[in-house]
Amino acid sequence: MNNDVRARREERGLSQAGLAEAVGVTRQTINSIERGRYDPSLELAFALADFFECRIEDLFHPDGDE
Amino acid sequence: MTATGSAPTVSSRQRYRRLLFGSIGVGVIANVALRIASYPIAAEAVYWLGIVVALAAWRFSPVTLFDERDDALERRASQITLVVMAVVLVLGASGSRTLAALGVYEGSPFVAGALYGYVAMAVVFALALAWTARGR
C-alpha cells in the first residue's frame, strides 16, 4: 500500500517522533509506514487520517495508485 | 502538538525498553559469569534481579512499550519459528526412528528430549490456538 504520510508530515514540519507521539506509536512504526514496509491497522490508519484531517483514502492508496 | 523537540513519550518508551531488555541481558550474562566462577546461588539471585527489574519496567512504565508494529513483528517471528519447529520435528522424529530401526544410530537422550520438547511446544500451541479462537 502506498501512502502520503511522509509528505503530509513534512508539510507540517513534524519529525517522525512527533507524529509517533501524536498517534501513540513508536517512531520506528511511522518510519516503516512511510517506507511502505508496514501497513498500519485500520485503527492507526484512522488515527493518522484524523491527525492530518483528511480521509483515509486520501492518505493511503492501493499499490499502483499515486 | 509541537513541530519541534523530541516527543516525551517516544524517549520514555526507548528508555524503558532499554531498561527492560538491558536488565534481562545483564541478568543472563551475569548469571553465566557467576556460574562459571562457581557462585551458583549468586548467579540465580542476579538472574532473578534482572527478571524482576524487567517486569517492573514493563509493569510500571508510564508509556506503552510496544505498539501494533511490534505485535505484527512478533506474530511474524512466531510463525517462522513454528514452521522451523515443525520441519525439525517432522524430519527429526522420522529420521531418528528410521536410523534407529536400521541400527545406524540410536538417538541420545538429549536428542529424544529435544524432540519431546518440540512435541510439547506443538501441544501448547494447539491449546493456545484453541483458547484464543474461542468466541472469535
- Interchain proximity A12–B72, CB inside 8 Å: no
pLDDT of residue B76: 95
pLDDT in tens for each of the 136 residues of chain B?
434 444 567 778 888 999 999 999 999 999 999 999 999 999 999 999 999 999 999 999 888 888 899 999 999 999 999 999 999 999 998 998 899 899 888 878 888 899 999 999 999 999 999 999 987 7
Nearest to A59 by CA among A9, A5, A14: A5
pLDDT of residue A65: 57
- Distance (Å) from the alpha carbon of B113 to chain A's nearest alpha carbon: 39
- Interchain proximity A24–B64, CB inside 8 Å: yes
pLDDT of residue A66: 53
Cα–Cα distance measured from residue B111 to residue B93, given in angstroms and rounded to the nearest whole number: 9
- Interchain proximity A26–B3, CB inside 8 Å: no
pLDDT in tens for each of the 66 residues of chain A?
899 999 999 999 999 989 998 998 988 999 999 999 999 999 999 999 999 999 999 999 987 655
pLDDT of residue B111: 87
**Complex prediction ipTM:** 0.82
